[in-house]
C-alpha cells in the first residue's frame, strides 16, 4: 500500500487552494486539516479523524516529527517513530494525506495549505488554536470537536507503566537461598 505521507510541497501541489477549483459553492473540493502527535492511536483519534473528514472532501493530518514530540512531551516520547506513525495514519480510510512537520506548531503548514476547515480537539480553547487567524483570514472556518471521554495517550502510557511495575504490596524480596532453590528445580 502506498503511503499517503507527503512533503509540504507535494501536499500543496496536490491539495493547495488553486487545485481545489473555485468557490466551494461551485463544487470546489473542501480541504480539512488537523494535527497532533498521534503517538499511540486510540479510538478517540479515529473518531476525531472520521468526524473531521465528514467536514470536507479531503483530510490532511499534520504530524509532529519525533524531534517536536520530544520537545512537547519529554524525552521518553514518542513511543512510535514518525515514519511508523505516518504509515499507521496513512492506512486510515478517513485520512487522505499526512504531512510531517518539525516545528512545535503547524502554523507554517497551515499558512501554506490554507485549509477550508481547521479541526482541533475540544481541549484547545478557540483563541489558542494555532492557524486560526490564517484560516479565517482566507475565508475558512475553525471547528473544535469534542474529545471522546476515556481516551488519552498519556493515560494509556500511565496504565502500561503501572502494569509493568512490581506491586510492592504483594511481592516480597527473595533471599539468595530461595532464588537458588528455584533455579535447581
27 phi, psi to nearest 5 deg: 90, 10
Dump pLDDT digits (tens) for 21-59. 665 555 668 999 999 999 999 999 999 999 999 999 999
Between 6 and 170, whose confidence is greater? 6
φ and ψ at residue 94, rounded to 5 degrees: -75, -15
pLDDT > 80? residue 6: yes
Q: How many domains does the chain have?
A: 1
Of the candidates 84, 1, 94, the one whose C-alpha atom is nearest the C-alpha of residue 39 is 84
What pLDDT does residue 180 have?
45
Terminal Cα distance for the chain, rounded: 51
CA distance 58 to 40: 23
- Residue 17 has what pLDDT? 74
CB 82 within 8 A of CB 61: no
Where does residue 153 rank: exposed (0-12), middle (13-18), buried (19+ CB within 10 A)?
A: buried
What was the pLDDT predicted at 155? 82
Residue 102 is part of a domain; what is its CATH number?
A: 3.40.50.620
Look over the chain and give the mean of its residue pLDDT values, rounded to a whole number: 86
CB count within 10 Å of CB 131 equals 24
For residue 146, the enclosing domain spans 5-184
Could you tell me the sign of the dihedral formed by the alpha carbons of 129, 124, 154, 88, in that order? negative
Residue 3 pLDDT more than 80?
no
Cell of 90: 496513512
Amino acid at each position: 500500500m502506498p503511503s499517503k505521507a507527503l512533503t509540504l510541497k507535494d501536499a500543496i501541489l496536490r491539495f493547495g487552494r488553486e487545485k481545489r477549483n473555485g468557490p466551494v459553492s461551485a463544487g470546489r473540493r473542501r480541504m480539512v486539516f488537523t494535527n497532533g502527535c498521534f503517538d499511540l492511536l486510540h479510538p478517540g483519534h479515529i473518531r476525531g479523524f472520521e468526524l473531521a473528514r465528514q467536514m470536507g472532501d479531503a483530510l490532511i493530518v499534520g504530524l509532529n516529527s519525533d524531534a517536536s514530540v520530544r520537545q512537547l512531551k519529554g524525552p521518553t516520547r514518542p513511543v512510535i517513530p514518525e515514519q511508523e506513525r505516518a504509515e499507521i495514519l496513512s492506512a486510515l480510510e478517513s485520512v487522505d494525506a499526512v504531512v510531517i512537520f518539525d516545528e512545535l506548531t503547524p502554523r507554517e503548514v497551515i499558512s501554506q495549505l490554507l485549509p477550508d476547515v481547521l479541526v482541533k480537539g475540544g481541549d484547545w480553547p478557540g483563541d489558542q488554536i494555532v492557524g486560526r487567524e490564517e484560516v479565517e483570514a482566507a475565508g475558512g472556518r475553525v471547528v473544535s470537536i469534542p474529545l471522546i471521554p476515556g481516551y488519552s495517550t498519556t493515560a494509556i502510557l500511565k496504565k502500561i507503566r503501572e502494569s509493568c511495575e512490581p506491586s510492592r504490596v504483594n511481592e516480597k524480596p527473595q533471599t539468595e537461598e530461595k532464588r537458588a532453590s528455584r533455579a535447581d528445580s
